Amino acid sequence: MSNHIEKTFIKDNTYQGPQSWDTLKQSGSNHYKTGGVEPIDLYRAGGMFRDFALCSIIKYAFRNRNPEEPISEKDMLKIIDYAQKLIASKGE
């Protein structure tokens, strides 16, 4: 795997080395941290995380397909977040 694929970025788009799953999960949205089982943990436990993450990346990219509208930075950061989590979970 090439180095540029393994690089991860923090929200200001500066390079930060590969991160652990737990570190990446802590940066997630608070509305998923309600005390019970988080959906993302359920997907991982059920062997569905890879498919879920790839579909989420496609969803956020597809939202930005109209060339007449500005690219949503929030959606691009979500794509990066899911890509980082895929890298952190490789081999599972």
Helix (H) or strand (E) holding 15, with range, is: strand 15-16
8-63 pLDDT per residue, tens: 455 555 656 677 777 776 766 665 556 678 888 899 999 999 999 999 999 999 99
Which carries the bigger pLDDT value, residue 22 or residue 79?
79
Token code pair at residue 58: 């496609």
Amino acid 4: pLDDT: 40
Residue 69 DSSP class: S
Enter the tokens of residue 68.
Answer: 């007449």
Q: Where are the alpha helices (DSSP H) in 1-92?
A: 3-6, 21-26, 39-45, 49-62, 73-88
Residue 2 has a pLDDT of: 37
Q: Indicate the pLDDT class of residue 1, thresholds 50, 70 and 90.
A: very low
Better-scored residue on pLDDT, 31 or 74: 74
For residue range 83-92, list pLDDT tens digits in order.
999 999 886 6
**Which residue did the predictor score with more confidence, 78 or 10?**
78
Domain ranges of the chain: 3-28+36-88
Cα separation, 22 vs 88, in Å, equals 9
